[in-house]
């Protein structure tokens, strides 16, 4: 998996998309991806933008329940 290092900070959106693209290609059938306590993230947190981008890029073979 790609590692988030300081040189990625200026283009964090690109890093996030590549990260989830890599994850989606590596994830095995019947796997679970859990965002534990995500509801505790502040409403103005960048986390929500990251989560939205990750969901938007879900490939057809991965279900969101």
pLDDT tens, 8-64?
Answer: 989 888 898 899 999 999 998 888 888 899 899 999 998 898 899 889 988 888 888
Give me the residue label for tokens 């986390």: 47
pLDDT at 35: 85
- Which H or E element spans position 22? helix 12-26
Return the pLDDT at 50.
Answer: 87
- Based on its alpha-carbon atoms, the radius of gyration of the chain, rounded to whole angstroms, reads 13
């Amino acid at each position: 998996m790609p590692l988030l290092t300081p040189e990625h900070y200026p283009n964090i959106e690109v890093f996030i998309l590549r990260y989830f693209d890599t994850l989606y290609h590596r994830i095995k059938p019947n796997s679970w991806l859990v965002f534990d306590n995500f509801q505790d993230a502040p409403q103005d947190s960048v986390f929500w933008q990251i989560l939205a981008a990750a969901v938007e890029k879900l490939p057809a073979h991965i279900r969101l329940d």
